[in-house]
Amino acid sequence: MGFDRRRFLRGAFGITIALPFLESIHMPRVRAGGPEPYRFAFFVRCGNGVAQAWGSEVEQFWPRETGALTQEIMTTRDRDRATGELAAFADKMSLVRGLNRPFGTPTCGHSDSIVQCLTAANPIPGTGNNALAQGPSLDWRIARQLSPGRDPMTLMAGPRSSYIREGVSWSGPGERTNAERSPLTQFRRLMGVMALPPDVRERLARRQNSVNDLVREELNALRSRRDLGRLDRNRLDQHFEAIRDTELALLQCEVDPAFEDRLGAIADVEREDVRPEVVRLHMEVFALAASCGQARSGTLQIGDGNDQTQYVYDGVRLPRFHHISHRIASDGSEGAAIPDAANLHHNVDRIQMRLFSHLLESLQQYASPTGTGTLLDDGVCVWTNDLANGPPHGGDNIPFILVGGAGGNLRTGQFVDVGRRTTNVILNTIGSAVGCTKSDGSPMDDFGDASLTRGRVDELIPV
């Protein structure tokens, strides 16, 4: 049998199974291990900054005071702030101000910023509006350590063709992860076992067969190779045992048959008018994946690099968001002023907070496998922007909103200002909360560019 560079086994009914790292025949590494506490992190990225205080523009994003957050505070004192839209999750949330983009933007502010968003890595010089990151993003670090062999879920609500393409998820230096635009395609990829013929699914569920049986011929041919060592045979056995556990988890998931119909109801997922619904469906697919134990990390990019979406607020279609963020009808520095642009930007922020709430509500519909709380309590959902504000498109006070305590590993119910610290510290905090460690087993504090000051955000770490 032959082995292509992707190292897959292929069998009946279109089943494709990735192989673990096999030293004797140079395949990609997959670590096997016993069960671990289920933690996850999902990142939602928006663009063009938020309507926070700068120059003569007043604060419309953050609460009025740092300290404890309660639903009452957010619905009374701070109801006019964009983050007030998240009041229902006050006790599960931390708002973090004072985080700065690690590096400058010498070529394109949008492109150079988005690649730093989850990497805290300097863009590769000279790449302009097609900027490339010099390091992996946190979703890949989490996936590689906590779910070896399973890539992070990389999603996007936006066009394939744009001035600045997707740039949130990076598997390594210069290795951009292409985002899936279709919630239906992502769902079918996730539920591959569910798409098998009913009689095959029934045999799998009764443990009479496994997906492994569908690639048995190729598997046996691989195991019989004379150049395959004993340790590699053990890795194969452990890997395919893990696959069996995965398929059983999927088969036990309860999926409303109408859900796939909803996913398939949108013929063109790149259309601007359906973008908010595509965002919500992507979020529901991730929540389902997490409930089935199939998603330890993921990203959702809303809009292209300089989000050009015309959002609808209170029934009114707004100008292009990027133009609003410039306060003029232009993608550059000259153009007709957009009346009341700062408040329009605030309205878009409110739209984004409401969309983020849908992710949180979707996760709360699933009970935690621990028997305490909901799935939202087990992981952490992160909302961020690759820019801080409107016209300057600055890098100071990049907003980070964390909801979910990662199983008690994050403090919640607070609004903190960490001063002037670079975003690698919040990424370290998130990664370590869901279980990422350094090579010596201590909590991760070394993520991002090696030139940055290491550390985590102490205010978010339980005492």
Q: What pairing do the DSSP bridges indicate for beta strands 312-313 and 297-302?
A: unpaired
**pLDDT score for 14:** 44
**pLDDT score for 32:** 37
User: For residue range 144-175, what is the model confidence (pLDDT) as tens digits?
Assistant: 999 888 899 999 999 998 889 899 999 999 99
**pLDDT score for 257:** 75
Domains of the chain, first to last = 1-30+197-252 (no CATH), 37-191+258-460 (3.40.720.10)
Query: Where would I find the beta strands (DSSP E) of 314-461?
Result: 316-317, 380-385, 400-403, 414-422
Residues 292 and 284: beta-carbon distance below 8 Å:
no
Distances (CA, A) of 404 to 106, 326, 371, 373: 36, 33, 16, 11
**pLDDT score for 216:** 59
Alpha helices in 15-108 (DSSP H): 71-75
Output the pTM of the full model.
0.82
**pLDDT score for 13:** 43
What element of type H or E holds 111? helix 109-114
Distances (CA, A) of 209 to 176, 191, 197, 239: 37, 17, 13, 16
Given 3-state DSSP classes, what are the helix, strand and coil percentages for the chain, each rounded to the nearest 5? 35, 15, 50
Looking at residue 94, its amino acid is S
Kindly report the average pLDDT of the chain as a whole number. Answer: 86
Residues 336 and 342: beta-carbon distance below 8 Å:
no
Q: How far apart are CA 407 and CA 23, in angstroms?
A: 36
**pLDDT score for 318:** 98
**pLDDT score for 226:** 74
DSSP-assigned letter for residue 70: -
Q: What pairing do the DSSP bridges indicate for beta strands 170-172 and 67-68?
A: unpaired
Q: How far apart are CA 160 and CA 173, in angstroms?
A: 22
Sites in the chain below the pLDDT cut of 50: 1-18, 21, 23-36, 194, 204-205, 207-208
Q: How far apart are CA 262 and CA 178, in angstroms?
A: 24
By the 10 Å C-beta count (0-12 exposed, 13-18 middle, 19+ buried), 358 is classed as: middle
**pLDDT score for 202:** 55
DSSP-assigned letter for residue 224: T
User: For residue range 274-323, what is the model confidence (pLDDT) as tens digits?
Assistant: 999 999 999 999 999 998 888 999 999 999 999 999 999 999 999 999 99
Query: Where would I find the beta strands (DSSP E) of 324-413?
Result: 380-385, 400-403
Tokens 């498109």 -> residue: 393
Tokens 């087990």 -> residue: 378
Q: How far apart are CA 461 and CA 463, in angstroms?
A: 6
Tokens 């289920």 -> residue: 38
* Token couple for 372: 């305490």
**pLDDT score for 234:** 76
